[in-house]
Structure 1
Amino acid sequence: MLPYVIATLGSAGATCKASTCSNSTKDYCYSARIRSTVLQGLPFGGVPTVLALDFMCFLALLFVFSILRKVAWDYGRLALVTDADSVASALHSDNHDRYERLTSVSSSVDFDQRDNGFCSWLTAIFRIKDDEIRDKCGGDAVHYLSFQRHIIGLLVAVGVLSVGIVLPVNFSGDLLENNAYSFGRTTIANLNSGNNLLWLHTSFAFLYLLLTVYSMRRHTSKMRYKEDDLVKRTLFINGISKYAEPEKIKKHFEEAYANCTVLEARPCYDVARLMFLDAERKKAERGRIYFTNLQSKENTPSMINPKPCGHLCCCVIRGCEEVEAIEYYTKLEEKLKDDYKREKEKVNEKPLGMAFVTFHNETITAIILKDFNACKCQGCACRGEPRASSCSESLHVSNWTVSYAPDPQNIYWEHLSIRGFIWWIRCLVINVVLFILLFFLTTPAIIITTMDKFNVTKPVEYLNNPIITQFFPTLLLWCFSALLPTIVYYSAFFEAHWTRSGENRTTMHKCYTFLIFMVLLLPSLGLSSLDVFFRWLFDKKFLAEAAVRFECVFLPDNGAFFVNYVIASAFIGNAMDLLRIPGLLMYMIRLCLARSAAERRNVKRHQAYEFQFGAAYAWMMCVFTVVMTYSITCPIIVPFGLMYMLLKHLVDRYNLYYAYLPAKLDKKIHSGAVNQVVAAPILCLFWLLFFSTMRTGFLAPTSMFTFVVLVITIVICLCHVCFGHFKYLSAHNYKIDHTEVDTIENRQNGRPATSLPAPKSAKYIAQVLQDSSPEGEATESEEQGSQDEELINADGMNDTDFQSCEDSLIENEIHQ
């Protein structure tokens, strides 16, 4: 189909020159833009104007962030002002090489002198070392930042070639107007169809592909991804009989497989409600302790309004009477404690038919995994059976699904109860609704068109100011391109994946695919939505209109639209990532809904979330793909793409360290990002193929060369991704280290030996089932409170050294 379409494009479009493209064709293409004024009426495609306006907005947003960071509830350093309960667990953990990010107390002590000024956080970004990021944020953060640095290096090389060689070649053409302010002179559209210099563009496109693969192989070879020994020796089994006993599971493996020793078999239970009750109980407990300590200092009882937003209520009306704080939280804690106990007693009655089984070495684990997976011919009646034992029938071994277990910190324990048919129906419904929504609202242009029906954008058009009409559309493009992927992100969140890696990987692929359609493909072709795209694709007039559609890609000012988008992403997008407006709004809402000063402090210490690698990879790869796709047809875009990546790297370094909690993922999310990088130079080859076909025909040497290179590249990529072939030609070159973190039982001569107990984080059991009794935890919480005070007062530090504006407001509220 592709060669036929391209051949038709060549015959239909070879006669169309850049100088003869009619105004009707331009209007036809610009119909997918936000209003018809976009990219028209300003010199050099409006790039200088957009650059100046976006840079001023960038400085203003940085100033706003500095103010927020200084006075607004430590918002700029939430990850250092997080849950104080984790201080004790971090201090007493046996697993010190894991994420040692402490909390507000210890982390603030470490970096109090580094970032205590109004703008000192700017220099702190450069002083944070990778080792510090690894210790506090985990290996995934270092891997992510290394990925960005290699993309920056790649863009430097591409920028030198594009700006230093391709740009002067484009300038040498004479098809477009000889005007120093004409943006079209910088594009490939300025060259004649018979110009031999077009071979340079084709060769450079292939060179960029090789540079991309080399850069990613260099990145993956330097990043030694550490896999815990415990993970490599543990299997996750689904489909077990719900009432199977751990001893029977152990007996089955030790009977069926020679020299097999099972160290541990842990069935999984439905703990979703138990985890909810545990979290609520701890909140009530912290509230009681807070007001108890306050009363011991002030010698006066505190009164609170127990309704949502109670601290904002200034009048006493029926139903909103104030109550004594300690009495209220004591009763609430006792009620939740009773509910927690009852639910914990019933947990063993809610098995999920899953188990984590840990073996004594990796060899036997691999043998068992191969035995279960090699014999399964999906959909065939003659399916083989794994090795049997005396317990096989009662355990339903033939129904088991076996895979390597994820890291314990990678598991959403509360999501394990959503499984099987229910999970698939839930996933199907969510994605069908998402597809229907995005099918008609794929791009910001279609949203603006809908808004135009209600005359929302008319006032901007009536201003007839070229600066506003140039700046406003690119700003709207960025805003809606931020809103629509958020919907895609939350769809992956509500799918209730079992692991953080699975959720992030799904988010990355879905968001990236959607962003490429929304930002790059459809606007380039002059289309406004997937609805229009499919109607055009399957319409009888498809081939007749194909040539005109692909002319849209190479209109002189088309590249300027994407240059402006990259500039907006670099300045406004990165500044908004620093501000984290959605998180700030959620923060304010949660503070307003708090019932007391204790709950407001609790909100403050629980506002930091894990860094969403999937969404971050998707956004970054979208902009990178736009830059690489137009790096030859419009080489001026590359320096702005490099500027975007530099700012993105600095913003992410700050956010990873100061604003987000660490996340433990697997290497699939990072290898998936590497695969997406290769898509960028492939799209660049597609763009050159379409240009060459439109100008010179499909049978021209440049077209045939580009087509052959493109087909070979796609075949190699598909064979590698789907079947694992061509490993030495792929962008992957990972080296995996195994780290001995499992201290459950060390082995001596193949037999277990006594050792220290495993840390909680290294056990395949939900944290809520590892916790001690509520009575013991109450004592521990009070001790933790005193430990926090000791940490604060260490090294001569005072509590006021860490007191933000929000803390002062809370204290003032108590004394009133």
Structure 2
Amino acid sequence: MIVSALLTSVGINLGLCVLLFALYSVLRKQPGNIEVYVPRLVVEGKAQRTREFNLEDLLPNPGWLRKAWQTSEDELLASCGLDAVVFIRIFIFSFKVFSVAAGLGMFILLPINYFGDQLRETDFTDLQNKSLDLFNISNVKDGSNWLWAHFSAAYVITGVVCYLLYSEYKYISLKRLEQFYASKPLPQQYTVVVTGIPSHSGCSLSDTIESFFMEYHPSTYLSHVVVHRTNKLRGLIRDAENIYKRLTRLRSRPHNPASSERNCFFGLFGKSKDLVQDYSKRLEDLEENVRQQQSGYSKTVEEVSAAFVCFKSRYGASTALRIQLSENPIEWVTEQAPEPHDVYWPLFSSSFIRRWISKLLVIVASITLTILFLLPVAFVQGLTNLNQLKTLLPFLNNILEISVVSQVITGYLPSLILQIFFSIVPPIMKIFSTMQGNISLSGIEKSACSKVLWFTIWNGFFAIVLTGSVTSQVQIFLEPKDIPWKLAVYVPTQASFYIAYVVTSWTSLSKELTRVIALLGDWIGGCSGCFDNELQAPSMTYHSEIPRILLFLLIGLIYFLLSPLILPFILIFFCIGYIIYRNQLLNVYLPKYETGGQFWPIVHNSTIFSLVLMQAMAFGIFSLKKLPLASSLLLPLPVVTLLFHGYCRKRFEPVFQTFSAETLIKKDRSEQNDPGMNEFFDKLKTAYNDPSLAPKDRSQYADDQNTPLLFSLES
């Protein structure tokens, strides 16, 4: 890529960002868009639609930027939870890292690279037509003493990253403890999930559970709830929900012609029927069927060998969680219970064998998806090479000769296509994680986050670098021992692609503000009345956003030494993301669960991986640049980094897995004389009852056209 192509991409994306920011500041002020741009505030009752129109509403203003910026972290924590704080801390951590990196890269490394004269004699004329490779380390002459500046920078950035990682890990772990001490008694703190419960002839599963825990945990055991297979029942309830919503919509507009239809030949002929009456009858039948199913459940047939077991203290629950309960390790298996509304109930309908097979299938499916994704990666790589594109598609030669067209194709289009393909991966990985056997929605999200992360790192970095232009470097997969050296050769050549990719990502971040799909859906629903009136604020999709941020963290660290020109663009990316997501967390996304910051260990591990990869790249580069002494002196760096990582895992990671006995006992003792604990324990006994077994009677409301949708199925 040449400088003018980069400038074209920067101009296009910067213009789009400004346009989207201005468009958002106008659209968010329109009365009809309140449910699109502040749905969280509407659900919480902090905002409502107004009918007043003001000409100032058509003018963009930066008021929302100021509010998002000025909101303190304590306010964000109280409003959005620790998971949101951790998410924003990723941007803060990255901004600190790349502020230092950009200072070193732009003022020290970049001038050294440009004046290296390895690729050509220094010439400032016609700079816009120069290749971006002139700003890479490839332009520094082999054996040059100026390479020691890059060597020193590798040590400096390693120290900075490790220091900031330690500070963030310590800060977030303390926040996690503070949140625990400040919290009220919560059901998940006193409950464990027990699976693999052995069956005994002549004894019900409930009796087996009570007998076991009364014998081995008599002083702390409180109660239990046996899990039932309720997939069929949940299907009936979902059908009833859908009928009730349709009926509610029809009754809200009784004179609409859509409230009746003909019953022959796709509704074109025949006698018309009253849809309200028809839906009312179907709803009554479904409700009766649900009641019969609920009352006819046989414990001996419909029970699952799993239960939620509640204890009288947090320490009692933690004791049962940490120790092996049975001599047979696959019986009486325990894990921490999620929040009651976070439970993924369909999981318990699957047997152990079925879940085990599902895990194997998920592994195979994930590998297959990763391999298939090489096709769009190869296509994108072909677009970055204009000469090869002319060879493959000779009929486009005349078009590709146009300067603006070639700059857009090589500087903007490849990264845009890659981002479109990447956008379909998170939903697929979430489906895979759902099949894998997680007992909670948050567990599914964390599992999907890890899958998307490593998929993104492989296909967003390794596949692009190692495949080269289309398939010319595929043979290196047959020689794994040569991969480190190949990385040192090919990574610098992809610097221009990643610069364009980062710049294009500014626009994708800005599109998060406008919520185009939600806006179109709201407009279509308002015009046609085909959507129900119940507003549900979306939740933050951490499993897709965290991997995307960590990919840019990896790219920035890798190209810090190789092509420091990328650093200011990455810094802008993190600045844009910081302000946008603070605004969205405060106004749009409503937390559906709280993990207590358990996404941070994923961030820490990924950053360490990126740092070690950067060091390995530096080792290969110095070897290729014929500076063997620098390569030798770099060897202690990854060793020290991994030792630091091991220390952090021992020091902080246990805090994110479970709380210590000291912490739990302190918390239990502080509440043992609280008169409200008896009421809490009464509620705890029924907190984990399957919502599909609770009575729901909507048919009695079917005749009231003004009745809001009071009931919803908890999934």
Same fold (TM over 0.5): yes
What's 1:358 paired with?
A: 310
Q: Offset at 1:214?
A: 2.3
Which letter does structure 2 place at the counterpart of 1:233? Answer: Y
* 8 Å CA contact 2:248, 2:707 repeated in 1: no
* Mapping of residues 263-274 of structure 1, within 5 Å: 263-274=222-233
User: Structure 1 residues 450, 465: CA separation in 2 closer, same or farther (over 3 Å shift)?
Assistant: closer
Residue 175 of structure 1 aligns to a residue in which SS?
Answer: coil
SS, match of residue 267 in structure 1: strand
Q: Partner residue of 2:386?
A: none
Shift of the alpha carbon at 1:785? 7.1
Pick aligned residue for 1:179 from 103, 112, 123: 123
The 3 A distance-change label for structure 1 pair 489 and 68 is same
Is 1:486 equivalent to 2:445 in the alignment? no
2:453–2:548 Cα contact (<8 Å) kept: yes
1:638-717 equivalence runs, <5 A: 638-666=567-595, 667-696=597-626, 700-714=628-642, 717=645
Q: Once the two structures are superposed, what CA deviation does each residue of 1:98-126 show, in whole Å capped at 9, x if it has no partner? A: xxx66185443799999993566853243
What does 1:266-665 correspond to in 2, within 5 Å?
Answer: 266-292=225-251, 294-295=253-254, 300=255, 303-304=258-259, 317-318=268-269, 323-347=273-297, 349=299, 350-372=302-324, 384=327, 399-442=331-374, 444-447=376-379, 459=396, 462-473=399-410, 474-484=412-422, 486-487=424-425, 489-496=427-434, 497-527=438-468, 535-539=475-479, 550-555=488-493, 558-570=494-506, 572-580=507-515, 587=521, 597=529, 599-602=530-533, 605-606=535-536, 608-665=537-594
Query: Is it true that 1:193 corresponds to 2:193 in the alignment?
Result: no
TM normalised by structure 2 equals: 0.80
Following the alignment from structure 1 to structure 2, what is the Cα–Cα distance between the partners of residues 457 and 66? 46
Alignment of 1:64-213 (within 5 A): 74=33, 77=36, 80=39, 103=43, 106-108=46-48, 117-118=57-58, 123-128=63-68, 129=71, 130=73, 133-177=76-120, 178-180=122-124, 181=127, 182=130, 183-213=132-162
Deviations for 1:250-277, whole angstroms, at most 9, x for unmatched residues?
342232235x232221111223343343
Matched residues in 1 for 2:685 and 2:607: separation? 34
Which runs of no fewer than 5 residues in structure 1 stay unpaired? 1-38, 82-100, 376-383, 387-397, 788-816
Shift of 1:641: 0.4
CA distance 1:786–1:670, shift in 2 (3 Å): closer
Equivalence for 1:88:
none
Q: Counterparts of 1:17-28 in structure 2 under 5 Å?
A: none
Of the structure 1 ranges 55-64 and 211-220, higher mean CA displacement relative to structure 2 is found in 55-64
Aligned residues of 2:623 and 2:631 also touching (Cα < 8 A): yes
- Go from structure 1 to structure 2 and tell me whether the alpha carbon gap of 1:460 and 1:623 turns closer, same or farther (over 3 Å shift): farther
* Residue 622 (structure 1) shift: 0.7
The 1-side partners of 2:50 and 2:213 are apart by: 49
Any idea what SS the aligned residue of 1:600 has? coil
Which deviates further from its counterpart, 398-407 or 771-780?
771-780
Q: Is the 8 A contact 2:26 2:60 kept in 1?
A: no
Q: Equivalent residue of 1:266, what SS?
A: strand
**Separation in structure 2 between the aligned mates of residue 307 and residue 630 of structure 1, nearest angstrom:** 66
Aligned partners of 2:144, 2:161: CA distance in 1, in Å?
27
Residue number in structure 2 paired with 1:49: 8
- 1:274–1:768 contact (8 Å) kept in structure 2: yes
> What's the CA shift for 1:79?
6.0
CA deviations 1:129-156 (Å, max 9, x no partner) are 3555445433322221122222222222
Once the 2 structures are TM-superposed, how far is the Cα of residue 486 of structure 1 from its aligned partner?
Answer: 1.9
The aligned amino acid for 1:492 is K
Change in 2 beyond 3 A, CA 1:78/1:59: closer
- From the superposition, tell whether residues 190 and 455 of structure 1 become closer, same or farther in structure 2 (CA, over 3 Å): closer
Q: Which amino acid aligns with 2:409?
A: F
Mapped contact 1:69–1:75 kept (Cα < 8 A): yes
> CA 1:488–1:662 in structure 2 vs 1: closer, same or farther (change >3 Å)?
closer
Distance in 1 (CA, whole Å) between partners of 2:98 and 2:246 is 52
Q: Which amino acid aligns with 1:103?
A: V
**CA apart distance, 1:53:** 1.8
> Is the 8 Å Cα contact of residues 216 and 732 (structure 1) preserved in structure 2?
no
Distance 2:424 2:354 in 1: 25
Structure 2 match to 1:800: none
Q: Please give the alpha-carbon distance, in whole angstroms, between the structure 2 residues aligned to 1:347 and 1:131.
A: 48
| Mapped partners of 1:588, 1:459: distance in 2 | 41
Deviations 1:472-498 (A, max 9, x none): 343333333332452354133244233
State the Cα distance separating 1:401 from its structure 2 match.
0.9
One-letter code of the match for 1:479?
I
Is the alpha carbon distance of 1:409 and 1:605 closer, same or farther for their aligned partners in structure 2, counting shifts above 3 Å?
same
Cα-to-partner distance string for 1:173-193 (whole Å, 9 max, x where unaligned): 333431232434432223233
3-state SS, counterpart of residue 691 of structure 1: helix
Cα separation, 1, equivalents of 2:654 and 2:149? 25
Task: Point out where structure 2 has 5 or more consecutive residues left out of the alignment.
Answer: 384-388
Residues 109, 564 of structure 2: 8 Å contact kept: yes
Superposed counterparts of 1:219-238, under 5 Å: 219-223=168-172, 224-225=175-176, 226-227=179-180, 229=185, 230-238=187-195
* Preserved contact between residue 413 and residue 766 of structure 1 (Cα < 8 Å): yes
Distance 1:79 1:187 in 2: 45
Q: What is the RMSD computed on CA atoms of the aligned residues?
A: 4.6
Cα displacement (A) at 1:441: 3.1
Identity of aligned residues (%): 16
Q: Is the 8 A contact 1:77 1:658 kept in 2?
A: no
- Cα pair 2:484 2:620 within 8 Å, conserved: no
TM-aligned CA deviation for residue 245 of structure 1: 4.5
Q: Distance in 1 between matches of 2:705 and 2:160?
A: 55
What is the deviation of 1:511?
1.8
Q: Secondary structure at the match of 1:207?
A: helix
Q: TM-score by structure 1 length?
A: 0.71
Corresponding residue SS for 1:498: coil
Secondary structure of the structure 1 residue equivalent to 2:349: coil
State the secondary structure of the residue aligned to 1:755: helix
Q: Distance in 2 between matches of 1:205 and 1:283?
A: 59
| Aligned with residue 253 of structure 1, among 208, 213, 220 | 213
- Please give the secondary structure, in 1, of the residue aligned with 2:679: coil
Asked whether the 8 Å contact 1:461–1:469 carries over to 2, the reply is no
Q: Amino acid of the residue matched to residue 202 of structure 1?
A: F
Mark the CA change 1:275 to 1:673 in structure 2 (over 3 Å): closer, same or farther. farther
1:367–1:440 distance in 2 versus 1, CA, 3 Å: closer
Q: Closer, same or farther in 2 for the Cα pair 1:581/1:509, shift >3 Å?
A: farther
Shift of 1:642: 0.9
Shift of 1:458: 5.7
| Shift, 1:736, TM fit | 7.0
Could you tell me whether the CA contact under 8 Å between 2:9 and 2:500 is conserved in 1? yes
1:639 Cα offset (Å): 0.9
Distance (whole Å) between structure 2 residues aligned to residue 353 and residue 69 of structure 1? 50
Decide whether the 8 Å contact of 1:302 with 1:325 is kept in 2: no
Q: Which moved more, 1:675-684 or 1:531-540?
A: 531-540
The question of whether the paired residues in 1 share the 8 Å contact of 2:195 and 2:306 is answered with yes
Q: CA contact under 8 A between 2:34 and 2:48: conserved in structure 1?
A: no
Tell me how far 1:582 sits from its aligned partner. Answer: 6.2
CA distance in 1, matches of 2:685, 2:99: 41
Does the 8 Å CA contact 2:22/2:60 hold for their aligned counterparts?
A: no
